[in-house]
């Protein structure tokens, strides 16, 4: 009975809470019991606040008893990614430099989640400074994939994705630069949505005008992601890139007829190496879109220079945000972070200017491409989960990877376009590893992406398969 409750869709739980058929205390007690039972096996939730969580649940029940107006996330437990500032709660970024750091203010996304009624239960694990799509750090250790604890959970929102997959909470927040919402979602059979830049405003930040890093939702289903987006999207004066569109557009039902939708099918996104197991799972999904009466054609935008754009601007951002830590604590940073900072320090002004010029040209090509199609579909990750002891794949199908970020270009190339993208469960490899399908929409067409993903989800039902854990 408890498992059935904890794996319910967040939209259903929210409705049960509002009708008072389920109390927030009942849900919270079940949530905390689940975390106690399964978290030691996977190490997803790294800071837990049980007393605070129960107090919040009691307050949520009291508000409903008084007849108060409540938000869309009222009474739902949530753990925040450990790169999100949480007032009065330790926020480490997975770094020994911040192992005991306690912020005084909440990040804007956390502020909005609380205002919508979500109840903080703790924090989820991340790679050091969120760098790399593999969740491990010297503060808390590694987060294990619940479908096989010997392989990676992905990252950087790995703790969040694993906690969702294991029924530890129904919604989660995350962030995405090179795939950090999409990759762990794909590897844990949940949904991760990278919204358009500015859709979910970010604050505080060292680079308020930087469009490549975004924050967004994760959940077990597409409609739960949309529910959360309706609470955290919308403009804010502290975030100059924030979009003014009313977030209520995400609160409406996602069902639509996809007949005639023009789908561009891209198995390799410009010739990227893709592990044959992933390629086989993704290839089988083309028939799903054809069965939904979409017009499917193998095509992709011209992503020339997307790698240079992403890797240059990422390096610039790493130096800006983390350079002082290299100066002050060179022995407390993992070598891949040091490498990325040094890449930033090696850049010249013309290097950055060239990247911006190329990004503008890239955007124009992608915008024109989406005048001829409605959605682009491709793999989320180029490989299935790899052994947890490895930091990153050094080769894919015999093709060497020159850096710790090169193996994630199926995501980072999409980042460079500025388009919204989602990872939705798409099946399993022969070993039983979850595989994600990436659906990309035209610039700012966030709702369209959710609608297409929802139709795929409902046609397939892959999200219903759960990991088997010994409690």
Question: Are 104 and 31 within 8 A, CB to CB?
Answer: no
Under DSSP, is residue 273 helix (H, G, I), strand (E, B) or coil? coil
CA dihedral for 298, 302, 308, 312, sign (positive or negative)? negative
Give 434's strand partners.
Answer: 428
Question: Are 72 and 247 within 8 A, CB to CB?
Answer: no
Of 190, 216, 187, nearest to 84 by C-alpha is 216
Active site residue 412: no
The two three-digit tokens of residue 289, written as one number: 């879109």
Dmax over Cα atoms in the chain, in whole Å?
63
Question: Are 334 and 302 within 8 A, CB to CB?
Answer: no
CB neighbour class for 69 (10 Å; exposed up to 12, middle 13-18, buried from 19): exposed
The span from the CA of 177 to the CA of 70, in Å, is 33
Alpha helices in 78-190 (DSSP H): 108-115, 158-165, 182-187
Q: Which one from 95, 180, 242, 381 is the annotated catalytic residue?
A: 180
Q: What are phi and psi of 386, to 5 degrees?
A: -105, 170
Q: Which one from 156, 230, 242, 410 is the annotated catalytic residue?
A: 156
3-state class percentages of the chain: helix first, strand second, coil last, to nearest 5? 40, 15, 40
Active site residue 153: no
Q: Which one from 23, 81, 133, 334 is the annotated catalytic residue?
A: 81
CA dihedral for 179, 180, 184, 186, sign (positive or negative)? negative
Active site residue 156: yes
Question: Are 25 and 57 within 8 A, CB to CB?
Answer: yes
Question: Are 90 and 100 within 8 A, CB to CB?
Answer: yes
The span from the CA of 321 to the CA of 327, in Å, is 12
In this structure, the number of other CB atoms found within 10 A of the CB of residue 2 comes to 14
Where is 323: in which H helix or E strand?
helix 306-328
Active site (catalytic) residues: 81, 156, 180
């Amino acid at each position: 009975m408890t498992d059935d409750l904890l794996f319910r869709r967040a939209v259903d739980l929210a409705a049960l809470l509002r009708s008072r058929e389920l109390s927030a205390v009942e849900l919270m007690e079940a949530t905390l019991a689940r975390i106690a039972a399964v978290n030691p096996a996977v190490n997803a939730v790294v800071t837990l606040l049980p007393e605070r969580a129960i107090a919040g649940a009691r307050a949520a029940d009291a508000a409903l008893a008084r007849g108060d107006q409540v938000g869309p996330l009222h009474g739902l437990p949530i753990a925040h990614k450990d790169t999100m500032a949480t007032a009065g709660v330790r926020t480490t970024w997975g770094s020994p430099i911040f192992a005991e750091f306690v912020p005084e203010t909440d990040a804007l996304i956390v502020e909005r989640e609380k205002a919508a009624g979500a109840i903080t239960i703790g924090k989820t694990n991340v790679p050091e400074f969120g760098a790399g799509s593999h969740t491990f750090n010297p503060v808390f250790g590694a987060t294990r994939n619940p479908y096989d604890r010997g392989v990676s959970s992905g990252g950087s929102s790995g703790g969040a994705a694993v906690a969702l997959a294991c029924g530890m909470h129904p919604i989660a927040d995350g962030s995405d630069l090179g795939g950090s919402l999409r990759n762990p979602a794909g590897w844990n059979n949940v949904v991760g949505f990278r919204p358009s830049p500015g859709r979910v405003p970010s604050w505080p930040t060292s680079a308020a005008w930087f469009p490549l890093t975004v924050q967004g939702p994760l959940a077990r289903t597409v409609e739960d992601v949309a529910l959360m987006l309706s609470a955290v999207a919308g403009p804010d004066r502290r975030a100059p890139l924030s979009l003014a569109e009313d977030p209520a557009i995400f609160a409406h039902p996602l069902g639509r007829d996809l007949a005639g939708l023009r789908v561009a099918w891209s198995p390799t996104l410009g010739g990227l190496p893709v592990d044959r197991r992933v390629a086989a799972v993704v290839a089988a999904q083309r028939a799903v879109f054809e069965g939904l009466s979409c017009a499917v054609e193998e095509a992709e935008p011209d992503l020339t220079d997307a790698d240079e754009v992403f890797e240059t601007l990422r390096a610039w951002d790493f130096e800006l945000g983390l350079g002082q830590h290299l100066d002050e604590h060179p022995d407390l940073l993992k070598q891949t972070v040091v490498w990325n900072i040094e890449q930033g320090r090696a850049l010249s002004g013309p290097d950055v200017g060239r990247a911006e010029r190329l990004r503008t040209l890239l955007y124009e090509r992608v915008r024109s491409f989406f005048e001829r199609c409605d959605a682009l579909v491709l793999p989320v990750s180029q490989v299935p989960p790899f052994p947890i002891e490895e930091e990153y794949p050094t080769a894919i199908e015999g093709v060497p990877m020159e850096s710790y970020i090169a193996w994630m270009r199926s995501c980072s190339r999409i980042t460079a376009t500025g388009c919204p993208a989602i990872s939705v469960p798409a099946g399993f490899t022969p070993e039983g590893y979850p595989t994600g399908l990436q659906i990309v929409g035209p610039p700012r067409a966030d709702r369209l992406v959710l609608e297409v993903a929802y139709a795929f989800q409902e046609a397939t039902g892959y999200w219903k398969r759960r990991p088997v854990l010994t409690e």
